Amino acid sequence: MIRAGFKSVREGLKDSFPLRLYHKAKRHFWDPQALDFGEDKRAFARLSER
């Protein structure tokens, strides 16, 4: 099998097909970076050792 092409990551991956699909999914559903775990962190700190 002969390689038809090559793309270096030096230019960045912003235009890569998988990354474009990821950003499209974020626009239509939810953004994992938008999750706020602050309340979870506070609740965990209040837990007892038992």
pLDDT band for position 26 (cuts 50, 70, 90): confident
Does the residue 27 lie in any domain?
yes
- Exposed, middle or buried, 49 (CB in 10 Å: 0-12/13-18/19+)? exposed
Average pLDDT for 33-46: 91
Domain with 31 in it? 7-48
* Number of domains, the chain: 1
Does the residue 22 lie in any domain?
yes
The per-residue pLDDT for range 1-19, each reduced to its tens digit, is: 787 877 666 767 777 888 8
Does the residue 1 lie in any domain?
no
Q: Is residue 19 within 8 Å of residue 13, measured between CB atoms?
A: yes
Does the residue 31 lie in any domain?
yes
Does the residue 20 lie in any domain?
yes
Report whether pLDDT(29) > 90: no
- Global pTM reads 0.37
